Amino acid sequence: MKLSFSAEDEQFRAEVAGWLQDNLKGEFARLRYRGGPGDEHTYPEERKVWEQKLAEGGWTCVGWPKEYGGKGCSIEQQVIFFEEYARAGAPGRVGHIGEGLAGPTIIAFGTEAQKQKYLPGIVAGTELWCQGYSEPGAGSDLANVKTKARFDEVRGKWVLNGQKVWTSLAHESDYCFVIARTDPESVAHRGLGFFLVKMDQPGIEIRPIEQITGTSEFNEVFFDDAECDAGDIVGAPGDGWKVAMGLLGFERGVSTLGQQMQFQNELDDIVALARENGAADISDIRQRIARAHAELKIMRYNAMRMLSGHSVSDGSLQKEALIYKLFWASWHRSLGELAMDVMGPECEILEGAPYELSRLQAMYLFVRSDTIYGGTNQIQRNIIAERGLGMPKEPRPALK
Amino acid sequence: MDFAFTEEQEMIRDTAAAFLAEVSSSEAVRRAMATESGYDSALWRRICDEMYWQAIHIPEAYGGLGLGYVELVAMMEQMGRYLLCSPYFSTVCLATNALLVAGNEDQKTRWLGELGAGQVTATLAFNGGSRSWAADSITASFRREGDEFVLNGDYRYVIDGHTAGLLVVAAREEGSSGEQGISLFLVPAQTAGVRRRWLPTLDQARKQAAVTLDNVRLDGTSLMGACGQAWPALGKVLDLAAIALAAEQVGGCQQLLDMTVEYTTERVQFNRPIASFQAVKHKAADMMLKTEVARSAVYYAACVADEALRGGELGAELPEAASVAKSYCSDAYFAVAGEALQLFGGVGFTWEYDVHLYFKRAKSSEHLLGDGSSHRERLAVTLLDQGRSS
Ligand SMILES: Cc1cc2nc3c(=O)[nH]c(=O)nc-3n(C[C@H](O)[C@H](O)[C@H](O)COP(=O)(O)OP(=O)(O)OC[C@H]3O[C@@H](n4cnc5c(N)ncnc54)[C@H](O)[C@@H]3O)c2cc1C
């Protein structure tokens, strides 16, 4: 076991930190610590400009292979990049769905033409993506999607009809990757397709949904004869589920080290507040702060274990990776509660009307979604028990 | 950065697991725990003479194997998994660490030599019967009389104190308090004035004793380090030991999880294996989460401990890493043991099934060297009190 980084990597760290110091200022200074989860409605235009600034510096898609415009960074360097990015308080990335999900999927499963068409815009930070999976009838049971895709032989285009819901940042996005049923007779995960769809077209309507925070980051998206080209399906019709699941495997936790740095910033705020307002003298609060601190440390060690794992080559997650989402989501949710309890009765008082939340108030509300999106805590436990421990699957009624 | 076992470390772990599966069966554990000494001396001889585990992290210069703390932790994890009854924790994780940290050259040459050769077992006595496990738990005292030291006082919770051949004891200068005035001494168990009494315990697989020093006279060669200034060294030893204990706790968690998955997969109720009920699966998933998180905490702490002993930079994190690991692992082990007992149903409540052995070990190791909340309080002091006027 070796915990230290090589001299070369430390040099890289200095380079990242230096670039951020030189660039995260002037017009961008007010973006510091903004736009993260729960705050994504803040400064969207400015953050798009920042995304392009990053691209100019060569700091988008650092983990992608060089041949696709990435930086080809090693795991260690990616860790360093995300850590330094968060340490500097650099803003939430508007391009993260393209860089982290859409791009890697296209690289892994896409055609040469799809790579040419879509990857450069992600690397340049000019084209933003959203994820069109969930539907009113397909949440945890994602395979139950009803949105249909029909190939129109005459026009040579795929035509989509149906509805997506909870689509984060759809209103800011240029493209959406959508799973839809290519075989209208099919059920469950058979007969699905994975589509790359342009958002700005007559067949798509986006309606924002107001969230628990009073702001809107996610939307309903309606497809009414929406179109994409014949070449915009990733994999064959019927392969959609395989492609969508392959995508989940790309989240190996590299970027989570940056997320942890953001968690650390939040915990630091809570500690500072507790020292100031006397909550630090209450034994229950002391225990909870110490627990949050200890578990955040361990979260980092756990991520380091995930990244160092030697046995990931078969694509299956190791045990420490399987538990990771459940661990961080539950941890973060308790941090929100801790923040309120450290504030005491002051936690009720808003920054302003009608519903202007402080950073900690927004965090407290937003973390409730961490245990819901990306597989709820219950679904995570099902996966851990079935894949991690080999326990029998829930008996299901036979498919009709 | 490469935060995974090397091939050699994996080999050490696998060898330990295979050996322990053979020699530390449920029957062997039950036989050993029913005795007052608490271990099978023939097995201990095999461990010392064939496996050299007692010498694992003693430097080669003193006749040891010269391996690191990561290897020691890998070993402890397996011992926790198989509930090995032996004086290993007391001899290696308490006394040997004390010698490594606080012994002078002569003391190391003599005692590490004997310990490494398996000629003697040893332990550490310091707590006079307090829940604190910190400096203020030391109540035994010493005074100087000419060239001699005279020690008096009582110790409780001394692991293997009734069988150890060598006692490393902490005592405070008469009239001192807190972290001041503490010294460490090497006391062969046969020294006049040393009285030892086995204390029957809830967890029978780890033996504890009360030790009384009644005008024990020692010459200057017994004193470890500068007189009255041993607390920082002793604190370090306790942190190192807490990390080893946390590794043992991780091994216990893993064994309970494996046993529970196996049992619930076989046991059928309502015409289904009970493992197919979601209420059962979700408990098992939480057990796995706690086990893996505990393991991450311990492996990191092991790297820190290794550097702390070798003088590396990361060694500065020792107190924090020890408290992070011991607090998380203590709570995790007890929670996992409680869930296991529940999921075994009635048989989990019997003496015949092994669950209770782990359930009892979980509680005993939780309270040994400080429970979860005391370690969290230690973290809280650093986070919340330093530099704050209240
Ligand atoms: C902030 C936010 C952003 C999101 N962004 C996106 C996005 O960009 N794109 C997108 O496609 N989706 C997005 N989602 C949707 C998200 O993935 C779904 O909300 C999630 O999968 C849960 O589905 P559901 O809301 O329909 O809840 P349901 O599936 O109806 O679940 C309701 C409750 O039942 C439980 N439950 C369901 N099935 C089981 C089971 N088998 N066993 C035990 N318990 C069960 C769940 O755990 C939950 O507690 C977002 C959601 C949120 C909150």
A296 with A377, same domain? yes
Ligand 1 center–CA A135 separation, angstroms: 10
Q: Does B297 touch chain A (CB under 8 A)?
A: yes
Q: Does B278 touch chain A (CB under 8 A)?
A: yes
How many structural domains are present in chain A? 3
Residue A244: inside a domain: no
Considering CB atoms only, which of B4, B257, B388 is closest to A309?
B4
* DSSP code at position B24: S
Q: What is the mean pLDDT of residues A72-77?
A: 91
Residue B2: inside a domain: no
- Interchain CB distance below 8 Å, B299 and A305: yes
B131 with B110, same domain? no
Q: What is the pLDDT of residues B292-313, one digit of tens each?
A: 999 999 999 999 999 999 999 9
Q: Which of B121, B140, B171 is a domain's end point? A: B121
Residue B346: inside a domain: yes
A288 with A230, same domain? no
Residue A30: inside a domain: yes
- Interchain CB distance below 8 Å, A391 and B314: no
Residue A41: per-residue pLDDT? 84
A52 with A164, same domain? no
Residue A247: per-residue pLDDT? 73
A199 pLDDT band, cuts 50/70/90, is very high
A16 with A73, same domain? yes
B131 with B59, same domain? no
- CA pair distance A181, A164, nearest whole angstrom: 13
Put simply, the chain B residues between 308 and 337 with a CB less than 8 A from any chain A CB are: 314, 320, 323-324, 327-328
Range of the domain at B290: 231-389
Contacts of B323 in chain A (CB under 8 A): 294
B274 with B336, same domain? yes
pLDDT of A312 strictly over 80: no
Put simply, the chain A residues between 47 and 76 with a CB less than 8 A from any chain B CB are: 76
Considering CB atoms only, which of A5, A319, A385 is closest to B282?
A385
Ligand 1 center–CA B337 separation, angstroms: 31
B338 with B384, same domain? yes
Nearest CA in chain B to A75: B1
Show the 3-state SS of chain A. CECCCCHHHHHHHHHHHHHHHHHCCHHHHHHCCCCCCCCCCCCHHHHHHHHHHHHHCCCCCCCCCHHHCCCCCCHHHHHHHHHHHHHCCCCCCCCHHHHHHHHHHHHHHCCHHHHHHHHHHHHCCCCCEEEECCECCECCCHHHCCCEEEEECCCCEEEEEEEEEEEECHHHCCEEEEEEECCCCCCCCCCEEEEEEECCCCCEEEEECCCCCCCCCEEEEEEEEEEEEHHHEECCCCCHHHHHHHHHCCCCCCCHHHHHHHHHHHHHHHHHHHHHHCHHHCHHHHHHHHHHHHHHHHHHHHHHHHHHCCCHHHCCCCHHHHCHHHHHHHHHHHHHHHHHHHHHHHHHCCCECCCECCHHHHHHHHHHHCCCCCCCHHHHHHHHHHHHCCCCCCCCCCCC
B296 with B243, same domain? yes
Strands B141-145 and B148-159: antiparallel
Nearest CA in chain B to A324: B289
Q: What is the CATH number of the domain that holds A318?
A: 1.20.140.10
Residue to probe by mutation, ligand 1, list A166, A194, A220, most atoms within 8 Å of CB: A166
- The tens-digit pLDDT sequence of chain B (390 residues) is 788 999 999 999 999 999 999 999 999 999 999 999 999 999 999 999 999 999 999 999 999 999 999 999 999 999 999 999 999 999 999 999 999 999 999 999 999 999 999 999 999 999 999 999 999 999 999 999 999 999 999 999 999 999 999 999 999 999 999 999 999 999 999 999 999 999 999 999 999 999 999 999 999 999 999 999 999 999 999 999 999 999 999 999 999 999 999 999 999 999 999 999 999 999 999 999 999 999 999 999 999 999 999 999 999 999 999 999 999 999 999 999 999 999 999 999 999 999 999 999 999 999 999 999 999 999 999 999 998 875
A221 with A264, same domain? no
Q: Does A176 touch chain B (CB under 8 A)?
A: no
Residue B81: per-residue pLDDT? 98
Q: What is the CATH number of the domain that holds B371?
A: 1.20.140.10
Q: What is the pLDDT of residues B117-159, one digit of tens each?
A: 999 999 999 999 999 999 999 999 999 999 999 999 999 999 9
Residue A249: per-residue pLDDT? 64
Q: What is the CATH number of the domain that holds A62?
A: 1.10.540.10
**CB distance A134 to ligand 1 below 6 Å:** yes
A310 pLDDT band, cuts 50/70/90, is low
**CB distance A133 to ligand 1 below 6 Å:** yes
Contact B302, B69 (CB under 8 A): yes
Q: Which of B121, B153, B169 is a domain's end point? A: B121
Ligand 1 center–CA A372 separation, angstroms: 5
Distance from CA of B126 to the nearest CA of A (A): 26
Residue A37: per-residue pLDDT? 77
Range of the domain at A89: 7-94
B70 with B128, same domain? no
pLDDT of A316 strictly over 70: no
Closest residue (by CA) to atom 27 of ligand 1? A139
A289 with A379, same domain? yes
Residue A124: inside a domain: no
ipTM score assigned to the predicted complex = 0.96
**Catalytic residue flag (residue A10):** no
Q: Which of A44, A75, A94 is a domain's end point? A: A94
Q: What is the CATH number of the domain that holds A206?
A: 2.40.110.10
Q: Which residues pair with B213 in a beta bridge?
A: B153, B194
A279 with A375, same domain? yes
Residue A168: per-residue pLDDT? 95
Residue B299: inside a domain: yes
Distance from CA of A293 to the nearest CA of B (A): 8
**Helix, strand, or coil (residue B230):** coil
Residue B1: inside a domain: no
Distance from CA of B293 to the nearest CA of A (A): 7
Closest residue (by CA) to atom 19 of ligand 1? A373
Q: Does B382 touch chain A (CB under 8 A)?
A: no
Residue B316: inside a domain: yes
Residue A396: inside a domain: no
B235 with B382, same domain? yes
How many structural domains are present in chain B? 3
**CB distance A215 to ligand 1 below 6 Å:** no
Q: Which of B62, B87, B121 is a domain's end point? A: B121
Distance from CA of B382 to the nearest CA of A (A): 10
Side chain identity, residue A252: R
B261 with B380, same domain? yes
B132 with B68, same domain? no
A305 with A369, same domain? yes
Ligand 1 center–CA A316 separation, angstroms: 23
Catalytic residue among A15, A46, A76, A251: A251
Q: Does A345 touch chain B (CB under 8 A)?
A: no
Residue A313: per-residue pLDDT? 47
Averaged pLDDT score across all residues of chain A: 93
Q: Does B106 touch chain A (CB under 8 A)?
A: no
Q: Which of A94, A111, A142 is a domain's end point? A: A94
B191 with B176, same domain? yes
A382 with A297, same domain? yes
Q: Does B383 touch chain A (CB under 8 A)?
A: yes
**CB distance A140 to ligand 1 below 6 Å:** yes
A269 with A371, same domain? yes
Q: Which of A94, A111, A138 is a domain's end point? A: A94
Contacts of A320 in chain B (CB under 8 A): 292, 295-296
Considering CB atoms only, which of A298, A307, A381 is closest to B293?
A298
- Interchain CB distance below 8 Å, B376 and A290: yes
Q: Does A5 touch chain B (CB under 8 A)?
A: yes
- CA pair distance A70, A123, nearest whole angstrom: 7
Residue B2: per-residue pLDDT? 85
A265 with A372, same domain? yes
- The owner of tokens 């090397």 is B6
Q: What is the pLDDT of residues A364-385, one digit of tens each?
A: 999 999 999 989 999 999 999 9
Ligand 1 center–CA A217 separation, angstroms: 16
B75 with B172, same domain? no
Contact B365, B248 (CB under 8 A): yes
Residue A212: inside a domain: yes
- Interchain CB distance below 8 Å, A281 and B289: no
B367 with B247, same domain? yes
A251 pLDDT band, cuts 50/70/90, is low
Q: Does A275 touch chain B (CB under 8 A)?
A: yes
Q: Which has the higher per-residue pLDDT, A36 or B50?
A: B50
**CB distance A218 to ligand 1 below 6 Å:** yes
Residue A116: inside a domain: no
Nearest CA in chain B to A285: B380
Residue A122: inside a domain: no
Residue A271: inside a domain: yes
Considering CB atoms only, which of A289, A304, A319 is closest to B1?
A304
A259 with A368, same domain? yes
- Interchain CB distance below 8 Å, B3 and A293: no
